[in-house]
């Protein structure tokens, strides 16, 4: 049971509730964030931009999010993003290898750079110059910025999820949220 009440149980304004109820699926993470009316709308805008408008390849984004979930030990984030990762082409072998990606043969060179960079940024805040320079050979400045923001955004979400012990929904891990929200 979550350690704070969900925002739609009293704290949310009419505007927040309207946004929260606008999609086909209401996630408990969104319900928790709805405790902050000042942040809710903008949080959703940033998350939506990273998922729906960014130039970064969705496969690389989801690989980074899954690895961030592993680094932060966020069961909720991992569970919700596995179907999303599959939807954008992350293989079951890659998903299974997230804990020990360094010794896994299922990742290409760019994916390995993204995983190493994710480990650095998620664990140490700063990615190394060495990996950043290596990423510049394959990704544009916009894509690198979006990768850093994705690692940071879902790392922030993991911190909220784990600290407040947000409950997994009954459908968690069974529904591809990318397809469901279209």
Instruction: Write the CATH number of the domain with boundaries 58-164.
Output: 1.20.1290.10
Query: Under 8 Å CB-to-CB from 64, ≥6 apart: which residues?
Result: 114, 115, 117, 118, 147, 150, 151, 154
**pLDDT tens, position by position, 114-153:** 999 999 999 999 999 999 999 999 999 999 999 999 999 9
DSSP of 38-49, one letter per residue? HHHHHHHHHHHH
- Domain boundaries of the chain, sorted by first residue: 58-164
Between 121 and 179, whose confidence is greater?
Answer: 121
**pLDDT tens digits for range 75-108:** 999 999 999 999 999 999 999 999 999 999 999 9
Confidence of residue 2 (pLDDT cuts 50, 70, 90): very high
């Amino acid at each position: 049971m979550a350690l704070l009440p969900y925002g739609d149980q009293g704290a949310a304004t009419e505007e927040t509730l309207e946004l929260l109820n606008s999609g086909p699926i209401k996630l408990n993470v969104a319900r928790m964030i709805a405790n902050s009316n000042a942040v809710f709308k903008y949080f959703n805008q940033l998350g939506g931009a990273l998922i729906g408008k960014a130039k970064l390849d969705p496969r690389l984004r989801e690989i980074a999010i899954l690895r961030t979930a592993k680094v932060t030990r966020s069961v909720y984030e991992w569970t919700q993003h596995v179907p999303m990762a599959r939807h954008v082409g992350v293989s079951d072998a890659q998903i299974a290898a997230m804990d020990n990606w360094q010794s896994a043969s299922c990742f290409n060179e760019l994916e390995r750079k993204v995983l190493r960079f994710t480990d650095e940024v998620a664990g140490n805040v700063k990615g190394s110059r060495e990996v950043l320079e290596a990423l510049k050979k394959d990704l544009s400045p916009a894509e690198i910025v979006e990768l850093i923001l994705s690692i940071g955004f879902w790392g922030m979400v993991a911190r909220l999820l784990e600290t407040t012990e947000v409950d997994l929904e009954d459908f968690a891990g069974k529904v591809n949220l990318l397809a469901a929200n279209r």
